Amino acid sequence: MEITTKSQPAGTALMNQTEENVLHTYNRFPVVFQRGEGVYLYDTEGKKYLDFAAGIAVNSLGYHYPGYDEALKDQISRLMHISNLYYNEPIAAAGEDLVRMSGMSKVFFTNSGTEAIEGALKAAKKYAFIRDGHAGHEIVAMNHSFHGRSIGALSVTGNAHYREPFEPLMGGVRFADFNDLESVRQAVTDKTCAIILETVQGEGGIYPADPEFLAGVRNLCDEKDIILILDEIQCGMGRTGDYFAWQGYGIKPDIMTCAKALGCGVPVGAFVLNEKTARQSLMPGDHGTTYGGNPFVCAAVHKVFEIYEQDHVIDHVRELTPYLEAKLTELAESSPFVSARRGKGFMQGLVIKDRPVGEVVKKALEKGLVVISAGADVLRLVPPLVIEREHIDEMLKILAECLA
């Protein structure tokens, strides 16, 4: 381990150590975060940052929310892992929470959002296999979508930049245009077994689904017995003002994927199936996971749902959303470098023009504000759901300076 000197701050030594030993697949910003408190982060030099990225929409309760740490410590003292060959208490509680809040039927816990996508794709294919008695089915996905980086998830990710180096990927995938129902109709064939889309596109630039589009896709799936998979990995768990974004559209998917804020920091995801799909898809031996749904992560999931309910987190998002949107719209209208605001709830994007969005992200970080980008030109704001008005005001002040 490198020795820190006065000429080499602790953060620099840690960055060098990381680059020496960890595969360079991320161009990290030159900051080493050491701890968090509330909605703020602190680096190794003691500098304070307002967090409007939440670990890419993961830390919905911020840092050290009352009761969360204690629940995890209590579970560590009891049991962390036993495998899925046996029952455990937390998976029973967390499974009931997720089924109850989604109004769906069965849940399979995974280690990540990408794994949730993989499971959802397998469930849809198995449903069609049981129905038709043969394999060879196809999937319709959306252009500009992002579903993960495994081979299956990449196959339904509508961005050639991510896919090309790893081709050939999973076959039988057709791409349609998000919010263009006719495009989806044209992509559907008699082999189509599933349509997969994000209820709010995240990495593609913060695009919420149009209500008419989502209702149309749901009707199309009902008409042709196609499984509708909605990816709620980023937009779910209260971020848009409902537990899951699709609940604000008056429709329901056949399969939903979720992760990120599901455990508010622990690595856990899930795919959730409605009764029809659960009854006629994955059977014992079709799918599995060693770590997924272990007592530790499920204790976190159960505590997150408990906090959401007891402290009315969803109501808080709904209450503050008009203020956040109004202030961001004002900034967009007053800044020559912002052409539009779009988003839903606490998942907002500012379209940056005439300068690289990466420069704005970097400048904000220097001024003590953590934000991230989405797509080529969108500044993404996905803060903890427990922010208050003063945090919105603080964020806007810093952003205004960055865009001056």
What is the percent of the chain where pLDDT is above 90?
Answer: 97
**CA separation for the pair 382, 174 (Å, rounded):** 30
198-218 pLDDT tens trace: 999 999 999 999 999 999 999
Q: So what's the pLDDT on residue 1?
A: 39
Q: What was the pLDDT predicted at 4?
A: 44
Q: Indicate where the chain has its CATH 3.40.640.10 domain(s).
A: 68-310
6 pLDDT above the threshold of 50? no
What average pLDDT does the structure give for the chain?
96
Tell me what the mean pLDDT of segment 392-396 comes to. Answer: 98
Mean pLDDT of the region 371-382:
96
> Is the predicted pLDDT of residue 83 greater than 90, yes or no?
yes
Class of domain 68-310: alpha beta
Q: How confident is the model at residue 403 (pLDDT cuts 50, 70, 90)?
A: very high
Question: Quick one: what percent of the chain has pLDDT higher than 70?
Answer: 98
Say yes or no to pLDDT of 5 above 50: no
Mean pLDDT of 95-107: 98
| pLDDT recorded at residue 9 | 77
The CATH label, of 3.90.1150.10, 2.60.40.10, 3.40.630.30, 3.30.56.10, for the domain at 31-52+312-402 is 3.90.1150.10
CA atoms of 191 and 239, how far apart (whole Å) = 35
DSSP conformation letters of 66-113 = TTHHHHHHHHHHH-S---TTS--HHHHHHHHHHHHHHT-SEEEEESSH
Q: What is the pLDDT of residue 284?
A: 97
- For residue range 319-334, what is the model confidence (pLDDT) as tens digits? 999 999 999 999 999 9
In sequence order, which residues have a C-beta less than 8 Å from that of residue 157 and are 6 or more positions away? Answer: 141, 145, 146, 147, 148, 163
Mean pLDDT of 248-271: 98
pLDDT value, residue 8: 63
Q: How many helices (H) and strands (E) does the chain have?
A: 14, 17
Kindly report the pTM of this predicted structure. 0.96
* Residues 6+ positions from 148 with CB-CB distance below 8 Å: 112, 113, 114, 117, 118, 154, 157
For the chain, residues classed under CATH 3.90.1150.10 are: 31-52+312-402
The DSSP secondary-structure symbol of 166 reads G
What average pLDDT does range 370-380 have in this prediction? 96
Kindly tell me if the per-residue pLDDT of 125 is higher than 70: yes
Residue 370 confidence (pLDDT) above 60: yes
Q: Does the pLDDT of residue 3 top 50, yes or no?
A: no
Predicted local distance difference test score (pLDDT) of residue 404: 87
